[in-house]
Structure 1
Amino acid sequence: MSSSSHVYGIPEYIPVDEKHPLAPVSVYGRSKVAAEHAWREYGGAVLRFFNVYGKGQRGDYLIPTILSQLNKGSVKLKNLDSRRDFVHVDDVVDALLVAVDFPGECFNIGSGRSYSVKEIAELLFKISNKKPKLISLNKRDRVRNLVADIGKAKRIMGWEPRVDLEEGLREVYEGFG
């Protein structure tokens, strides 16, 4: 079952492992906790995805938001300091395919590294050869830093992400629009 890092809420420690207390701060996160509890009755694996990105992503996510503003001379974002763990959709698909062999287990699926919103924007500027002004709207995130401990997925499933962030962002940029 696909779940989300939103189940963790504001992390008590970084990186967040699967034993971290579940304390969601959003309705979405609470719905994922409820779905996990229901799914456990069936014995399937639970995969908690961190920030998934890739071609065809909805426009209200961070990367498409940046890309849609590249040609406007400035890129306005809520907060530049928040840090997230980005994982490419191809790596997520690989994890889903492997996880079917591990019923009853729960795995974090991320890259195991955190990047600030500013770092993501600057990587996209580099890839696109554009230099728009980067503007922070200074809207605080309740969750300031979230990064996955993917050790269990590596150890038990033999899974680890293969798509490099810059390579994945380049693919998204080339397919955007």
Structure 2
Amino acid sequence: MGIKVLVTGARGYIGSALTRRLDSLGVKWVPFQGNVCDPKVFESFEDCSSVVHLAGKLRVESNLEAQTGLMDTNIIGTYNAARFAAQGNRSFFYASSCHYDPTEPVPSDESVQITHSSPYSFSKFSGETLIEGWRRYFDLTGAVFRIFNVYGPGQNKGFVIPDLLAQVASGEVSVMNLDDERDFVFIDDVARLMATAVMTPHDDLVTVNVGSGQTQSIGQVLDQMFALTGRTLPVKDRGLRSAIPHSQADISFAKDFYQWTPRVSFDAGLASIVKHTFQQHPKEQNEHTSGFGKLLER
């Protein structure tokens, strides 16, 4: 197809899913190797026709050194990747944040500006600003993906679904607020949209929400986990307000521009995670998870 994709962060959770998808479609790709903060490293990939920039730091310790390291990697790395793409007339695809202004109505469409309340969200806000400069003044084309709560089998702790499931397995569940709502999008659907975008010609840089368009409250997620594992536990609701109490994507643009719709329902996606988790850690299956045996037989 004349496409060779440079993927930064190819070994990450989203990057691994994307590269598997590209492999299945016969699309050539190469992993970025080196420090994204060093612009000279990108010169080794001159034969690539597009760049998917997924590399970045998500969560770090609260000390100054760690936080500034996050800012360096996420902002300087994004600048270097976008610069490399723009200078070589390459399409550019960037994994951004769905950190929309919580005072705005939901579902959120792409016309709503993302905001920031942490070094991480500020780094994504800054990244989008830098990319807009390359688009406006140097004709950068491609897409900015505003990814909502991605989930799926094999995801590390530090995210909503694996953290809640770990609590259920431990027998003690405590949450900030049971009424908080999130838009969960399955990892395979995310990879499919990204791969579609990579193979789609772009004459501009577009911003696209990557979500399911549906919401689940934390309470609803726990109820489904209890049903899947056969375990019912008391839940401590600390009643704390989160930075984003309600998050939901308007995915009209993705449907219209890329002819993409999510295929994996939340029920099916969560069942696949629970099944994967207990297959990997069978010792967590005990007398409190009697319902799980039936799940494994599906």
TM-score of the two chains, using structure 2 as the length reference: 0.56
- Corresponding residue SS for 1:105: strand
After superposition, where does 1:11-50 map in structure 2 within 5 Å? Answer: 11-40=103-132, 41=134, 42-50=140-148
Q: Distance in 2 between matches of 1:58 and 1:72?
A: 16
Q: Distance in 1 between matches of 2:98 and 2:186?
A: 15
1:11 deviation in Å? Answer: 4.2
- Corresponding residue SS for 1:52: strand
1:84 deviation in Å? Answer: 0.8
Deviation digits for residues 80-129 of structure 1, max 9, x if unmatched? Answer: 11111000000000010011215411100101011111111111111111
The answer as to whether partners of 1:71 and 1:132 remain within 8 angstroms in 2 is no
After superposition, where does 1:1-177 map in structure 2 within 5 Å? Answer: 1-6=94-99, 8-40=100-132, 41=134, 42-100=140-198, 101=200, 103=202, 104-176=205-277, 177=281
1:71 deviation in Å? Answer: 3.5
Q: Distance in 1 between matches of 2:218 and 2:183?
A: 10
- Corresponding residue SS for 1:80: coil
RMSD of aligned Cα (Å):
1.5
Q: Which moved more, 1:10-19 or 1:31-40?
A: 31-40
Counterpart of 1:30, as a letter, is F
Q: Distance in 1 between matches of 2:276 and 2:126?
A: 35
Q: Distance in 2 between matches of 1:61 and 1:134?
A: 18
Counterpart of 2:191, as a letter, is V
- Corresponding residue SS for 2:142: coil
1:138 deviation in Å? Answer: 2.1
1:34 deviation in Å? Answer: 1.5
Q: Distance in 2 between matches of 1:117 and 1:145?
A: 11
Counterpart of 1:126, as a letter, is A
Q: Distance in 1 between matches of 2:249 and 2:214?
A: 7
Q: Distance in 2 between matches of 1:130 and 1:55?
A: 20
Q: Distance in 2 between matches of 1:3 and 1:99?
A: 15
Query: What 5-or-longer segments of structure 1 have no aligned partner?
Result: none
- Corresponding residue SS for 1:65: helix
Query: What 5-or-longer segments of structure 2 have no aligned partner?
Result: 1-93, 135-139, 282-298
Corresponding residue of 2:294: none
Cα 1:171–1:108 shift into 2, 3 Å = same
1:24 deviation in Å? Answer: 2.2
1:141 deviation in Å? Answer: 0.6
1:26 deviation in Å? Answer: 2.4
Q: Distance in 2 between matches of 1:10 and 1:26?
A: 14
- How many matched pairs? 176
